[in-house]
Each structure stands twice: as structure tokens, then as C-alpha cells.
Amino acid sequence: MTGVRRRGPDEWTRAGSVQPGDVRPSEGRRDPLGNVPDAVYRLDPQGRFAYLNAAAEKMLGQKAEELLGRAAVEAFPALRGSLAEEQYRQVLGDGRPREFQFFYEPMSRWFEVRVFPDPGGAAVLFRDIDGRRLGDEERESQLRGLSAVLEALPSPTVLVGPDGRILSANGAWSRSANEVLPEPAWPGRPGEDYLTAMTRGLGAPAHAQLSEGLRTLLTETSRSDGRTFHLDYSADSPQGTVWFHLQATRVDHEGRVVITHTDVSEQVRAREELEWKVRHDDLTGLPNRSRLLELTGEALAVAGRTDGALLMLDLDGFKTINDSLGHEIGDQLLRLVAGRLSEEIRPGDTVARLGGDQFVVLAHGCDASEAAALAFRLQTVFALPFRVGEITVPLSASIGVAVARPEVRDAHHLLGDADAAMFAAKSNGRDRVHLFSPSLREAARWRLEVATRLRGDAIDQLVVHYQPVVRLDTGQIDGVEALVRWQHPERGLLPPDTFLSVAEETGQIIPITRWLLRETTHRAAEWAAQGLRLRMSVNVSARHFSAETLVRDVRVALQQSGLPPDQLVLELTETSVAEDPTRAEDQLSVLRSFGVRVAIDDFGTGWSSLAQLFALPIGTLKIDRSLLAAAERVAVGDTGAVLAAIVGLTRTLGIRSVAEGIETPDQLRMVRAAGCDLAQGWLLGYPMPADQLLTWVREIESAGGDVCALAAAGRAVPGRG
């Protein structure tokens, strides 16, 4: 390239172009490309340097004078056969510009090269891009590293670039595409806009939250790596609803964001199941007490509305059914009842199960008479017996109804009212409906007080009164019946019916009876030691009977007191025995075997079969005073025929009969005539405290010892105990 001068590129600017190949002879003028940072040179068709600017000289490390006219491949032998040489030839061949990146071995650097054809060969622009390429490579390797990390994550994860596009996604993301995005669509490939991809599965509100969260993460200008955004969302997939926890974390200052979508369906389902369980009854699937209270609270909270009602149903005698048929059948029966009740109520109303055999219906929008009508309708649910396998069981329910009133704004309060009404329905007999009235609340309050106090100090305030039992043939005192009373500190002496039913409900009756057995056997043993042999009758509740500690409790009392077993009589009502005759027979036989006597109390008030009753090892039958009154009515023309028939039967079976509740000389005459063995009643002696009884007995003895004769003459009865 000798003879080719280095020329001033200002000539090119004049041409208004930046064609570096335009060579104009204008020696001495400044090279207009001298200050251009990119290196520029020209090669003639033979590949010899025809021009170099200052940047090119600098980059190639040689002066223009040394290079001009020399073939590039000679000056830089490493170019021979290189990509650069080949590209240059191609430009010369087809006259089209080329652009490529080129690693120049001797310098060990990357260059970006652009070759433009021109009439005298080609112009070459090149720049050192080694730094940039390294940056790119670094980024790429970083990306590869991140992708590898993403790949290792079990949750569908994407890396999103600052522009919101997916840079990389892991396998889990593609695999669970249909879950993250329930529509069977590709979840979004690298390059696609992440938010656009997410519209395919996310509901609008969740998508809006995601957009907002992501926008904030991406547009944070300050150094904000580690900033995180969370979103929980659910989506419907072909397999059902799936729940995801999305976590988007900005990972670097360039603003890339890693977004994981963790499938939390199992946890959500477990949590929902737990929440459901907390509010529902396992057995029937109905709302439980706490859910019922919630729903009732919501109903009562509707301002200006007080037209709702709670109907509490308690199945009659269900405990007996459970005990005799077994809990499995009991459970199935409860499910059947739940099903029938649920069918009977109106949509929007609720049936809940409080536990045991108690159900509650929450009825909206009804007044007292409508609620009562609903109660009667619910009773018809029990009209047909329930069938479990081969067994058919008739059931009935006692129903208490409480209607919301303006002053009742509290769910517990209303439920308490329904409970009080149900309790009243129960005590009226089975299969009844009772509407709440404020006096019932008083009764309920009393029951609560009793329950609380019996668990506390009340047991120490119990006292026993003794009522004489008299032989009808000789008029002598045969024994006493122990009757418990509560010496209440404020209310005075309370009869047993004010507290014993509560004690039965709460189970406190068992420790009470245990105490009574100890107290009375000691008392009888003490009297015997003083020469007064009185047979001691103690009332035992059905509850104690079914708890199966009776035999042990009786044995302990007898051992500790030293009372001969035949001096103790246990009184059991016919209903308590009839509830489970087999169990009764077993326990009574054991008691009999150690000499204790057993009496059936209140005979004539239950519906037990005589045959069944008399098959039990009982020694005494106590005829209830209601039967006495009935016998009296019949006896107008025919002296106590009913009574005589019963007594005749007991005689045949070797059972002693006791006539209870003798109040008048006429009644005394009648039971005597009927052939009863023993009698008890106010005419003969009131229940009285132990010391008073002792005085009374002494008085009777000194007056001849015939209570019946004294009573008939109006002289026997002491003051009421």
C-alpha cells in the first residue's frame, strides 16, 4: 500500500457520509474519524490496509505508517484462515455488509466487527467488546446457575426479568402447568410475559394483587434484593380446587425476581378439615354446639329481628337403648334421627347435635306459635320406628322451645332457655313439647346452682331423716327408711326432689349414695348396739345401679359399720330395674347372696311387666301411694280388690309388701284388709332426724308398742321432722 497517504477524514464529512472508505487527497487536514472511539480501517480488494484511524492504530498496537499498504494477514498472521478473513472475502464476493463477533487469539479478546463493502474494497469498524462479552457470559452463567437452582426446587418456579418476561422456568413449572394454570395450556415459556401467562389461570382479583405486587418488586429502584411478596390463591383444576402459596423474591439489583408457586392444597385441606371438625359433630356431620352458638349469634345479631327460635330435642330413654342394644346401634340410630330431622326443617334452618341424644333446631323467622307448630311437626319425625338392620326401635323426643325476644340477644342465653324448656318437657313425661317461660329460667338457674354446690360443699350439708316402717299385724316398728334432705344455709331444709334429679344428671348421686350408705349403716349399727334393732332402708338411684359400683359400695359400708347384711334394704324403683333387667338380675343376685335385701320402690308408677319384675331376686315390694288412691276409688263397693290382688301375688312369691303413704285411718284399714305386711306414712310417723326418731321409738314403746293402734286412735304421730 505504498503511495497511499494517510488522509484527513474531514473530506468524508463534507460528503455528508460516514463512509470511511472515501479517500480524498487533502493532505494535512485533520482526520475526521480521529476522535471516533471505534476503530476504523479500510482494506483494498487485495486485503491491504488503505486507511486506519487513531483508535484503530491504538487498538492494533501499530502505527498507520507501518501498516498502510500491507496485507492484513501479513501484518497479523493470526487472521489467516480466521472467521474475520472469511467474512471479509464474503463481503467482497457478494457486496453485502457483514457483522460478527470475533475472538482474536493473540490479544485474547473479543471484538465486534462490521464490514461494509465500498468501491475500493471494504471499510471495517471494530470495537473491543471483551468487557461486555464477559458481562454477558457472566450473566449467562449466572442465569445457568440460577436455572440449576430453580430446577432443583420442587415447586413450580420461574425467574422473571426486570421487563416482566420469563427468563427461565423449572421442570416442575412445566409439569404442573395444569395445576398452576388450571386451563390445560402451556404455562408460559421463557420469553413470554409472566403476568400474561398467569391470566390463564388466576381469577381477576388475585391477578390484580399479583400484578401490583410484582410491579412494586420490579420497579423498586433502590437496592432491594431479598424483597418478597406473598400471595395465596386457589384455582379450579380438573382434579378439583388447588391452593397455592406464591412467593416472589427480588434476587438481584438488576431486578430479577424468582417466583415459586408452592402447592399448599394438602395443608389447606387439613386446616379446613380441622376447622370443620371444630365446628361439627363427628358422628352425624351436623353442626356442633359451638357452630350452633355461632349461627344463633349471627341470627340474633340481625338488627331489628327477633323472630327466631331454638328447639331442643332430647330423645326419651335413649340411654337405655344405648346400654341394651349397644353403642354401635345407638350411633346408627342417632344418624337416622339426624337425617330425618334434617329433612324436616326448612332450607336456611339448621339442625345441630349438642352431643349425646340432644339435637337443636335453629329456626329463622318464626314466632312462638309457629315455633310450637314446628315442634309438633318435629315430633312426627318419630311417628315411624327407626330401623337398624333387623332391629326396629321406636323413639320419641321431648322438645323444649325458646323463641327469641328483644331482651335476649345472646345465643347462650337462648340455648339455656331452650334447655330449661326441654327439661320441663322431660319432667312432664316423655314425648312432650314445652315452651320456655321465665319461671323455667329460675328453675334452670336453681339446677345450675345445685350442680355447682353439690360438687362443692353441699355434700356436707346433707342430712338424713328416718321414717318408720310399721308391721301391720302387730303394729310394731319394723325399721326405717332413710330419706335425704339438704340443710341449705339460706333456703332451709330442702326435700330430695329439689336436688336429687340434678345429682342424677351430674353423676353426683353416686358419691352421695356412697356417703348415705356409710351414714345409715353406721346409724343402724349404733342403734342396734343400744338395743334398738331397726331394719334400714336406703334408696338407690338407677344411675348408681348402672354405674356398677353398687355392690362394692354396699359391701364396704357393711364391713365398716359391722351391720348384719340382712338389716339393710336397698330400695330401687321399678323403672330403674326395668331399664336393664339382665344387669339388674346380676347385681341383685350378688347383693342377695351376701344377705342384703332388695325392695322395689314406687310400685305402680312405672309400666314394668309383673312377670319380669317378679323374676328378679327381690324381697320387698313397696306399693306407691298413687296405687293406694286408685285402690281406694275402686274400693267404694269392693274393699281394695286391686290391692288385694297384688298383695296376693306377692304372698305367693314370698315377697313382703309395704303400703306407702298411709295418711288416714281408712287407708290403714284398707291396706290391712288387703293383707299388706308393712306400712309407712304420715299417719304412722313422719320422716324425722335420728335423735328425734330415738325419742319417738321410746315413746311408742312406753305406750305399748302398737303404732297402728295408737295411730288409729290419733295418738302416735310426732311433730314433722
Residues making contact with ligand C2E (CB under 6 A): 467, 482-484, 495-497, 500, 516, 539-541, 571, 601-602, 625, 660-663, 680-682, 687
Query: Which residues pair with residue 193 across a beta bridge?
Result: 165
According to CB under 5 A, which one of 31, 419, 571, 677 is a site residue for Mg ion?
571
Residue 515 region by backbone torsions, left for phi larger than 0, else alpha for psi between -120 and 50, else beta: alpha
Question: Could you say which residues in the range 638-697 bind Mg ion, by CB under 5 A?
Answer: 660
Contact between 573 and Mg ion per CB under 5 A = no
Least separation in angstroms between CB 497 and ligand C2E: 6
Q: Which is nearer to ligand C2E, 38 or 505 (CB)?
A: 505
Residue 659 CB, nearest approach to ligand C2E (Å): 10
Question: Please, what is the minimum distance in Å from the beta carbon of residue 582 to Mg ion?
Answer: 24
Nearer to ligand C2E, 263 or 519 (CB): 519
x/- site string to Mg ion, residues 528 to 547, per CB under 5 A?
-----------x--------
Q: Which does 176 bind (CB under 5 to 8 A by kind): Mg ion, ligand C2E, none?
A: none
Per DSSP, the three-state class of 553 is: helix
**Interaction partner, residue 103 (Mg ion, ligand C2E, none; CB < 5-8 Å by kind):** none
* Buried/exposed code over 525-534 (b: 16+ C-beta within 10 A; e: otherwise): bebbeeeeeb
| For ligand C2E, the closer CB: 350 or 573 | 573
If contact means CB under 5 to 8 A according to the sort of partner, which of Mg ion, ligand C2E, none does residue 681 touch? ligand C2E
Cα–Cα distance between 601 and 220 in angstroms, integer? 88
| Helices and strands (H and E) in the chain: how many | 29, 27
State in angstroms the smallest separation of the CB of 471 from ligand C2E.
16
Collapsing DSSP states into helix, strand and coil, what is residue 221?
coil
Any contact of residue 602 with Mg ion (CB under 5 A)? yes
User: Taking the CB of residue 374, how many other CB atoms lie within 10 A of it?
Assistant: 22
- Residue (357 or 601) nearer to Mg ion, CB: 601
Residue 600 interacts with which of ligand C2E, Mg ion, none, CB < 5 to 8 Å by class: none
Q: Which of 113, 45, 43, 117 is nearest to 75 (CA)?
A: 43
Nearer to ligand C2E, 248 or 484 (CB): 484
CB of residue 605 vs Mg ion: minimum separation in angstroms?
8
Q: Dihedrals φ, ψ of 211, to 5°?
A: -60, -45
500 binds, among Mg ion, ligand C2E, none (CB under 5 to 8 A by kind): ligand C2E
Q: 235 or 658, CB closer to ligand C2E?
A: 658
Q: Do 12 and 32 meet the contact criterion of CB atoms below 8 Å apart?
A: yes
- Least Å distance between CB 591 and Mg ion? 16
Q: Please tell me the distance from the alpha carbon of residue 313 to that of residue 329, in angstroms, as a whole number.
A: 20
Least CB distance from residue 461 to ligand C2E, whole Å?
14
Report how far apart, in Å, the C-alpha atoms of 91 and of each of 18, 77, 117 are.
Answer: 18, 20, 6
SS3 6: coil
| Shortest reach from residue 537's CB to ligand C2E, in Å | 8
Cβ atoms of 427 and 400 within 8 Å: the answer is no
Return the number of the residue (157 or 539) whose C-beta is nearest ligand C2E.
539
Which residue is associated with the grid cell 467482497?
92
The three cell numbers locating residue 528: 342396734
Three-point CA angle 269, 272, 275, nearest 5°: 150
Contact 323, 546 (CB under 8 A): yes
**644's grid cell:** 288385694
Per-residue three-class SS string for 236-271 = EECCEEEEEEEEEEECCCCCCEEEEEEECHHHHHHH
CB of 265 to ligand C2E, least distance (A): 57
- Residue 663 interacting entry, from Mg ion, ligand C2E, none, C-beta within 5 to 8 Å by type: ligand C2E
At 211, list the grid cell: 400484578
* Binding of residue 601 to Mg ion (CB under 5 A): yes
Closer of 103 and 515 to ligand C2E (Cβ): 515
Interacting residues toward Mg ion by CB under 5 A: 539, 571, 601-602, 660
